[in-house]
Amino acid sequence: MFSLQNKSAIITGAGSGIGRAIAECFVTAGATVHGVDLNTSTFPTGVLPHACDVTSATAVANLAAQVLSTSGRIDILVNAAGIAHVGKLESTPEADFDRVYAVNVKGIFLMMQAVIAAMKNQRQGVILNVGSIAATVGIPDRFAYSTSKGAVLSMTLSVAKDYIAEGIRCNSISPARVHTPFVDGFIAKNYPGKEKEMFEKLSRTQPIGRMAAPSEVAALALYLCSDEAGFITGCDYPIDGGFIKLNN
């Protein structure tokens, strides 16, 4: 089950964290994986590398053309590229807000726009956007990030509605905290000398008592992009260790 044999997939943010785990998982499942990131040196084995700035319309259009030239089709798009930001409304500079919006919202918009014609021609395609529980749950000091992830959820529902007749499915996944290099870097930068204490504190914010492993998020992505999930579209899937429903 959940084979991606003979599928061509584009995965953004494939150089680290969740995107890298999804790329590795999809290669194992048999897909031809086109990895997208600014830095391609950390891609998993078997991923076809594409250095691309997802905030550039020209770069994204060229990327889609390259993938079509190489693989002949685009079956799956996973938008995992994203950046975070710490700050509430009054402590968020305009430049930081614009930067988060450019990557987390405009980047997904451009990537979906670049592949939609190919998927329509095929009468088949799957788009999966990596969102966050921040889209639906208030998280302190995450104003710009939460705003961007709310937009990801809305874009997902809009695309699912508009292209269902063309055989294109569009869903999103919303993780809580995932143990990625970003988390380790964030703790080291903001809490020097208290890394272990803060890691445990952040882990406990999930009722299950730990952060997710990137591979667990990748497993959910694999299912949603497989033919076995062919009846699922227009849905957001929290993968949150009970954060949304059990955090009272």
Give yes or no for residue 151 having a pLDDT over 70.
Answer: yes
pLDDT, one tens digit per residue, over 37-70 is: 999 999 999 999 999 999 999 999 999 999 999 9
Q: Kindly report which listed range (22-36, 180-194, 226-240) carries the lowest average pLDDT score.
A: 180-194
pLDDT, one tens digit per residue, over 204-244 is: 999 999 999 999 999 999 999 999 999 999 999 999 999 99
CA distance to 67, 137, 211, 240, per residue, from 246 (Å): 42, 12, 15, 10
The active-site residue out of 101, 145, 163, 237 is 145
Handedness of CA 163, 165, 167, 171 (dihedral sign): positive
pLDDT (0 to 100) of residue 144: 98
pLDDT (0 to 100) of residue 18: 98
pLDDT (0 to 100) of residue 186: 85
pLDDT (0 to 100) of residue 63: 98
Q: Between residues 94 and 182, which one has the greater pLDDT?
A: 94
Question: Within 10 A of 101 (CB to CB), how many other CB atoms are there?
Answer: 16
Using an 8 Å Cβ cutoff, are 63 and 107 in contact? no
Give yes or no for residue 248 having a pLDDT over 70.
Answer: no
Is 223 one of the annotated active-site residues of the chain?
no
Strand segments (E) across 160-232: 168-175
pLDDT (0 to 100) of residue 182: 87
pLDDT, one tens digit per residue, over 74-133 is: 999 999 999 999 999 999 999 999 999 999 999 999 999 999 999 999 999 999 999 999
Handedness of CA 33, 37, 41, 42 (dihedral sign): negative
pLDDT (0 to 100) of residue 125: 98
Using an 8 Å Cβ cutoff, are 127 and 80 in contact? no
pTM above 0.75, yes or no: yes
pLDDT (0 to 100) of residue 45: 97
Q: Which residues contact 182 (CB under 8 A, 6 or more apart)?
A: 16, 17, 84
